[in-house]
Amino acid sequence: ANGSNGGGAPAAPSAYVPPHLRGKAGAGSAPARPAFSLHDYEQAKKVGGTSALGKALPPGAEEEDDKLSKGALKKKKAKEKAAREKDAADALEQTNAALEAAGIEIKPAGAAKAPVVAEVTKDLETPEGVQKRLKAVQKKLRQTQDLAKEAAGGKELNVDQLAKVDMIPAVEKEIAQLEKLFKSLS
């Protein structure tokens, strides 16, 4: 025990080196070893797209996402989606403004389509078939009138909804034709 290592030359006594000085040159007689660097550790984790456990990350996954809770991750994705939608809306607004400045008129989708007029088919040969079609067209008219009320109230409608509102006269005409057909079959 007296500083001997079991029969050989006596071991040189070494001075205590505090942990923060260990591995530094000139700090006691301890051999120099590279100091631990958190930055180097973090970089080593990310080499090759692998996680800290050495597992390959799925495409699109980021190491930071693994550290977030479910709620925080969901909130992050929602913010990213809202930002993408805002960017898309801004781009559409700029495009529409440029087209308007150039004097190009934009027609809503479905505006070029011919109005749907009920033709005499197998379903419309019986009073029950005509009545069924009449109910469906009346429901469509109620929905379009509700959209028109919302638009009058200040709600901004999308292109398809505007096209549907523009079809109100054609739908009313179809209802009149179906009522006439129903009376003739009854």
Q: Which two tokens stand for residue 46?
A: 């990310």
- Polymer length in residues for the chain: 186
What is the spatial distance between Cα 178 and Cα 141, in angstroms, rounded to a whole number? 13
Residue 105: pLDDT above 90?
no
* Residue 56 DSSP code: B
Tell me the one-letter amino acid at 73.
L
Tell me the one-letter amino acid at 28.
G
The percent of residues in the chain predicted with pLDDT above 90, rounded, is 18
What does the pLDDT look like over 50-80, one tens digit per residue?
544 555 656 666 656 567 788 888 998 999 9
What does the pLDDT look like over 32-47, one tens digit per residue?
555 556 666 666 655 5
What is the spatial distance between Cα 35 and Cα 117, in angstroms, rounded to a whole number? 83
What is the spatial distance between Cα 136 and Cα 124, in angstroms, rounded to a whole number? 13
Q: Which two tokens stand for residue 12?
A: 């040189």
- What is the Cα Rg of the chain in Å? 39
Q: Which two tokens stand for residue 25?
A: 């040159």
> pTM of the predicted model, to two decimals?
0.37
Supply the mean pLDDT for the chain.
75
